[in-house]
Amino acid sequence: MVSLFRVLGASVLFLPALVIAQINMPRGVTPVSHEIYDLHMMVFWIVVAILAVVYGVVIYTLVNHRKSKDAVAATFSENTTVEIIWTIIPLLIITAILVPSIRVLIHMDDFDAAELTVKVTGHQWKWQYEYLEHGVGFFSNLSTPVAQMVGVDKKNEWYLLEVDKPLVLPTNRKVRFVLTSNDVIHSWWVPELGIKRDAVPGYVYEGWARIEEPGTYRGQCAELCGVGHGFMPVVVEAVDPQAFDVWIRKLASTVPSVASDQGWTLPTAMERGAVLYDQHCAVCHKIDGSGMPPTFPALTNSSIATSTDVNRHVDLVLHGVPHTAMQAYAPQFDNEELAAIITYERNAWGHNTGDLVLPSQIQAQRR
Amino acid sequence: MADESNLHTSTTSVGARMISFIVHWTMTTNHKDIGTLYMCAALFNMFVGGLLALAIRAELFIPGLQIVNPNFYNTLTTMHGLIMLFGVLMPVAAGFANWQIPMMIGAPDMALPRINNMAFWLMPFATVMLVSAMFMDGGGPNFGWTMYAPLSTTYGPPSTDFMIFAIHMLGISSIMGAINIITTIWTMRAPGMTWLKLPMFVWTWLVTAFILLAIMPVLAGAVTMMLFDRNFGTSFFDAAGGGDPLLFQNLLWFFGHPEVYVLALPAFGVISEIIPTFSRKPLFGYRSMVVATVLIGFLSGVVWAHHMFTSGMPYGAQLYFMLASMLIAVPTGMKVFNWVATMFRGSLSFETPMLFAIAFVIMFTFAGCTGVMLAVAPADFQYHDSYFVVAHFHYVLVNSLLFAFFGAVYYWYPKWFGRMYNEGLGQWHFWLSFISANVLFFPQHFLGLAGMPRRIPDYAISFTDLNMISSVGAFVFGFTQLLFAYNLVVSVRRGQKASAQVWEGAKGLEWTLSSPPPYHSFQTPPKIG
């Protein structure tokens, strides 16, 4: 019995670790994340208290009311007063939890006076961000190399939590997010911003955050969305408002590369195409092009990749196939990237059609 | 497994005996046989589902993709969930219902014995079809057991249709079983067994059966709509066609939340049988236990959208579902307090059934507390779809419900088979399971709080240590169950012969019968004092 108390006592020392190591919910950097954290900790301590009482009685009973200690069983099987008390106390506890919770819910729903609106679109398997007031946007892809995933290279510090283009936001400004999806249900979650919103196709859902400190905040997709669900992280770079203004103006003025066929050779296209295919297409169609039919058709020896009708191939990649998992990739890639991918598909795996798809061809077929 | 010696004469050939064995077990309408069949099927399925879980935890041991590809990993998590819920927990509860209800109410058998047989046999065939989906072209279902559209409709593999068919069959099995149970309890109680003398296990199954009747048709409707969206050009869940993905979530969870109470109530029932026996004291607060059970039954049907807080519902709906979900903690907490009050000032002994029951009380209280945390809607925005939820529901399903069912198997095994299980082995099974189940699931709470989402095959390196610990716990827990299976199988022949009373403190009609009970018991209704 003494050792039992020693164990219980030692376990109390464990509690501070919950805050020190990152094994507790982060307090975060937004008003909502603070409120959620405070609510979480309040309920946590109430739970600790309840468990202490209940477990205390259980342990006391297990130790003292044993047959082996010649305990004689009492015969009572009712006590209305006690039962009323332990119905009322939980109701009071629930009320105590509900009142602050309602306040936080109302606050989370307050979208007034937003100073910036960002549209977040979930795709399989990347996020797309658009600054609606500025008319610019981009896709944000996982940038961890496959070599790290399969154990060839050592995993870096931000393994699976890094992207090629993070979402840049200003601090101390109320940012409103509008979320939707291009295909299946995804969920945009950044723990330190205290925000998680499902991205549902056919719906536009709102969220907001006011980031109080500059920094890099990482999250992940939080709704199973297919094979790449674990591989579409969220990275938010919060910078002070002046830096944000400079950055957004630069982004808005960046002219996307037009259809230039200069210097575009088969080797160039194949080299770029191989990398892009592995990064973006292999997840469904596999590195060797064998796919997983019928949901993800095989590209090897398919008529689409080997017949003389190159336009059909281009059209399919640009505009997708409705009601299937094949997306329209026109918005995601520029002309050179698409030309490279399609050229690769037409020449790899023994196809050797010799076709070189030109960036101008891609441009011509964009709708 | 009762008295059947007329089959084993030395003049019948091996072939004839085999045929007679098969005919007996496929055609039996005896509630005891059917109970045993459910138990055997559930035990087998537990190892199948458990194997899938070990594959999952093996992949999650360290970051990186070592063992399975991400698509198969999604199939593993989907099938693990479906098999454990539909192939293990529901059948085991049905097995207890079949064995125990007629004996506990003094009835000779269930009201509808042939339906009973059909209801059982649908289940293994459906489960085989379900598992076979994993081996079909295009892979098995890979969209989570919750089957959200449009991932399951537009993007699901062809095997999804077979999964839907299997779910239909399982649903029909449950509905038939539920009708049987309600009819039996309502019409076949021995004279003098009034409602307020009904054993708690029977009460919990009565409420469970009504819940099943309400929810299984909803699941059937939802998966039929899935089937139509997939194959017949409808757009129930396709926004582009004017449909609504969230409709699927609402339908699924309208089924899915009461479903967890379908699993939990029979477990509560067995705990209410075991604890009084080993405390040598009557159940505290029988009347309020009955009221709480009925209240839980009702409330379970009106809280479903607490699984959908982040899906875009208006804040008024969030408020309502938060309130209702927290309210359901009150009757549930009342049950816990009543169990503790039953033990308090009793005269406790700690045979294996009681160990599992006490562990249930401890871990279910904890699971209930994390449930209350999840019900706090604003906080749920951080918890939802993270490992905090995974930890919560496994504490409910494994650490609580499965433990309760283990306890119940040990409790009634001597009655059913006339032989004691090996108590030493039972104690080993308990302690290894108790410790490893906590090592397995406790760290997952912190993984979720730290930001690890669920259903991912690979994770950021800061999550490594806790995942490693969890995986070690998983393997110990998994292999420990072999002790359980061994104990059950071997004790049937070699266990010590059991008395009718079996347990000193046991009360109830089943303990008035011999161990094992007659193949047909209570042909004449007993007199209830």
Residue A41 lies in a domain: yes
Distance CA B427, CA B483 (A): 10
CB A40 within 8 A of CB B373: yes
8 Å CB contact of A40 and B450: no
Q: Is the predicted pLDDT of residue A21 greater than 80, yes or no?
A: no
Residue A190 lies in a domain: yes
What pLDDT was estimated at residue A257? 63
Closest of A144, A190, A151 to residue A167, by C-alpha: A190
CA distance B34 to chain A (A): 35
8 Å CB contact of A185 and B151: yes
Selecting from B312, B329, B449 the residue whose C-beta is nearest the C-beta of A90 gives B329
Residue A258 lies in a domain: no
Judgement on whether residues A6 and A94 belong to the same structural domain of the protein: yes
Indicate the SS3 state at residue A14.
helix
* In chain B, domain spans: 26-512
Going by the DSSP 8-state scheme, the letter that residue A73 receives in this structure is P
Judgement on whether residues A169 and A148 belong to the same structural domain of the protein: yes
Distance CA A8, CA B362 (A): 15
Q: What is the DSSP string of A315-361?
A: HHHHH--TTSS----TTTS-HHHHHHHHHHHHHTTTT-------HHH
8 Å CB contact of B379 and A229: no
- Residue B109 appears among annotated catalytic residues: yes
Reported as a pLDDT band with limits 50, 70 and 90, residue A8 is low
Residue A74 lies in a domain: yes
Angle in degrees, 0-180, between the axes of helices B387-394 and B423-450, rounded to the nearest 10: 160
A200 touches chain B (CB under 8 A): yes
Judgement on whether residues A138 and A235 belong to the same structural domain of the protein: yes
8 Å CB contact of B446 and A61: no
Judgement on whether residues A224 and A242 belong to the same structural domain of the protein: yes
8 Å CB contact of A86 and B148: no
Indicate the SS3 state at residue B149.
coil
CA distance A49 to chain B (A): 11
- Residue B306 appears among annotated catalytic residues: yes
Residue A145 lies in a domain: yes
| Helix (H) or strand (E) run with residue A167 in it | strand A167-170
pTM: 0.93
Q: What is the DSSP string of B399-440?
A: IIIIHHHHHHHHHHHHHHHSB---HHHHHHHHHHHHHHHHHH
Going by the DSSP 8-state scheme, the letter that residue A334 receives in this structure is -
8 Å CB contact of A196 and B460: no
CB B49 within 8 A of CB B29: no
CB B348 within 8 A of CB A59: no
Distance CA B136, CA A293 (A): 11
pLDDT digits (tens, 9 = 90+) for A277-309: 988 888 889 889 998 887 789 999 899 999 999
What pLDDT was estimated at residue A11? 54
Q: Is the predicted pLDDT of residue B255 greater than 90, yes or no?
A: yes
- Residue B80 appears among annotated catalytic residues: yes
Distance CA B331, CA B300 (A): 11
> In sequence order, what are the residues at sequence separation of 6 or more whose Cβ sits closer than 8 angstroms to the Cβ of residue A128?
A120, A121, A122, A137, A138, A139, A140, A182, A331, A332
8 Å CB contact of B462 and A72: no
Full domain range(s) for residue A23: 2-108
Please report, rounded to a whole number, the percentage of residues in chain B having pLDDT higher than 70. 98
Distance CA B149, CA A320 (A): 20
Angle in degrees, 0-180, between the axes of helices B423-450 and B403-417, rounded to the nearest 10: 160
Judgement on whether residues A128 and A228 belong to the same structural domain of the protein: yes
Between positions 232 and 261 of A, the ones with CB within 8 A of B are none
Q: Token pair of A182, please? A: 């291009």
- Residue B307 appears among annotated catalytic residues: yes
> What homologous superfamily is domain B26-512 in, according to CATH?
Cytochrome c oxidase-like, subunit I domain (1.20.210.10)
Residue matched to tokens 């002070």: A240
A160 touches chain B (CB under 8 A): yes
Between positions 363 and 422 of B, the ones with CB within 8 A of A are 365-366, 369-370, 372-373, 376-379, 381-382, 384-386
Residue A261 lies in a domain: no
Size of interface A-B (CB pairs under 8 A): 296
Q: Is the predicted pLDDT of residue B244 greater than 90, yes or no?
A: yes
Between positions 262 and 301 of A, the ones with CB within 8 A of B are 283, 292-295
Backbone φ and ψ for B193, nearest 5 degrees, come out as -85, 85
Judgement on whether residues A192 and A296 belong to the same structural domain of the protein: no
Selecting from B280, B319, B455 the residue whose C-beta is nearest the C-beta of A229 gives B455
CB B38 within 8 A of CB B91: yes
Reported as a pLDDT band with limits 50, 70 and 90, residue A1 is very low
Last residue of a domain, one of A205, A225, A253: A253
Q: How many CA atoms lie within 13 A of A362 on its CB side?
A: 26
Higher pLDDT, A150 or B442: B442
- Residue B332 appears among annotated catalytic residues: yes
Q: Is the predicted pLDDT of residue B503 greater than 50, yes or no?
A: yes
Last residue of a domain, one of A88, A108, A128: A108
Reported as a pLDDT band with limits 50, 70 and 90, residue A146 is confident
B291 touches chain A (CB under 8 A): no
8 Å CB contact of B346 and A43: no
Set of chain A residues whose Cβ sits within 8 Å of the Cβ of B275: none
Judgement on whether residues A308 and A357 belong to the same structural domain of the protein: yes
8 Å CB contact of A155 and B240: no
Last residue of a domain, one of A228, A253, A278: A253
Instruction: Please tell me the total count of domains within chain A.
Output: 3
What pLDDT was estimated at residue A279? 82
Q: Token pair of B338, please? A: 């009543």
- In this structure, the strands spanning A215-221 and A186-190 are antiparallel
The CATH number of the domain where A327 resides is what?
1.10.760.10
What pLDDT was estimated at residue B192? 95
Selecting from B348, B379, B462 the residue whose C-beta is nearest the C-beta of A36 gives B379
pLDDT digits (tens, 9 = 90+) for B435-459: 999 999 999 999 999 999 999 999 9
pLDDT digits (tens, 9 = 90+) for B91-100: 999 999 999 9
Going by the DSSP 8-state scheme, the letter that residue A198 receives in this structure is E
Selecting from B315, B334, B453 the residue whose C-beta is nearest the C-beta of A109 gives B315
Judgement on whether residues A287 and A202 belong to the same structural domain of the protein: no
Residue A40 lies in a domain: yes
Task: State ipTM.
Answer: 0.94
Q: Is the predicted pLDDT of residue B519 greater than 80, yes or no?
A: yes
Distance CA A85, CA B143 (A): 45
